[in-house]
A = this chain, B = another copy of it.
Amino acid sequence: MHSMTAMDTAARPGDTEFDRGTAVTEHPAEPGVYRTELDGGWRIGGGINGGLLLATAARALSRELRSGSGHPDPYSISAYYLSASTPGPATLHTEVVRRGRSVSTGQVSLIQQRPDGTRAERLRALATYGDLDALPEDVRTSATPPELPPPDQCIGADQAPPDFLAQADLLHRLDLRLDPACVGWALGVPSGSGTIRGWLRLADGRDPDPLMLLLAADSLPPVTFDLGLFGWTPTLELTVHVRAKPAPGWLLVSHTTRNLAGGYLEEDAEVWDSTGRLVAQSRQLAAAPRP
């Protein structure tokens, strides 16, 4: 029911904030190397959003694994975050690890230069790609999407704490509607259950695709808000499984944590498309906010 709304206003692929933000161009002289420009509009906290970086890295790898192997789509991608990215130019260094018949595996590093000219690796990722359109149609998923009110009865992300919003440029690029049951933290009464969920689409109406799901998996406020912890949760590692191409329209994203201990937490995300299909699952290990 939501897909019509989104399609009515959909920005054209290639001419959207997300496509510009994750655009890569081949280096003229170095095979397998791509250039990108990290846009400060995707900033959150001390750096560029980890999901946007992952989508950019994944786009470079998609170019490499599509040509020759016919494997344009990430099935699984695991990123290890090494240092905070800054707005400005970056290069993506890809390596094809293995080309196979049904899947291929590659590696990609996102690298920037520090002001002093030294090389700073921001993230490194391994990934296995395939062709989502070539997969069989069978769906025996036992998971069911969480139930929440429709987007127009949910809470805009502008209700987040002002300290958070001040460092979350990213939120202007997203249309994020949070389940009222999960935003007690905005009123000073976090539920304590460790859940945040809501509807998500890109603010300019650009419909989701496999690369956009990588952003979706890391774009809700930290699940620790629901535990009453409002600091930042820097990601050490983020793995996303993309299981199907999403239908047009709203995504339903649910974040949970079950294991906050020893200064770290895991954060699981499930991303459902407008037909109710579970199209992506992710887990990250993040540093917990200091109490």
Contact = CB atoms under 8 A, between A and B. Distances in A.
Nearest to A127: B80
Interface string A239-273: 10101100000000000011111111010000000
Given A236-B128, A266-B241, A261 B76 contact: no
Interface stretch (A23-31, A136-144, A170-178): A136-144
A204 interface: no
Contacts of A237: 76, 78, 126, 128, 239, 241
Interface residues of A, number: 50
Interface secondary structure of A, over-half rule: strand
A140 B260 contact: yes
B281 A266 contact: yes
B241 A285 contact: yes
Give the number of copies in the complex.
Answer: 2
Nearest to A137: B262
A263 B78 CA distance: 20
Given A80-B97, A237-B239, A124 B140 contact: no
A127 B260 CA distance: 20
Contact of A143 (B75, B227, B258): B258
Given A80-B127, A138-B261, 11 more contacts: A75-B285, A82-B98, A97-B121, A135-B264, A142-B259, A142-B260, A241-B285, A243-B262, A259-B278, A261-B278, A266-B281
Contacts of A22: none
A137 B132 CA distance: 43
B76 A285 contact: yes
Max count, chain B CB within 10 A of own CB: residue among A82, A141, A278, A281 = A141
A261 B281 contact: no
Given A261-B243, A278-B259, A193 B76 contact: no
A105 interface: yes
Interface of A: 75-76, 78, 80, 82-83, 97-98, 103, 105, 107, 121, 124-128, 132, 135-143, 193-194, 227, 236-237, 239, 241, 243-244, 257-264, 266, 278, 281, 283, 285, 291
Contacts of A140: 227, 260-261
Contact of A80 (B128, B136, B278): B128
- CB-based closest 6 A-B pairs: A78-B78, A135-B262, A143-B258, A76-B237, A139-B261, A140-B260
A22 B41 CA distance: 47
Contacts of A239: 78, 237, 239, 283
Given A78-B237, A260-B141, A107 B124 contact: yes
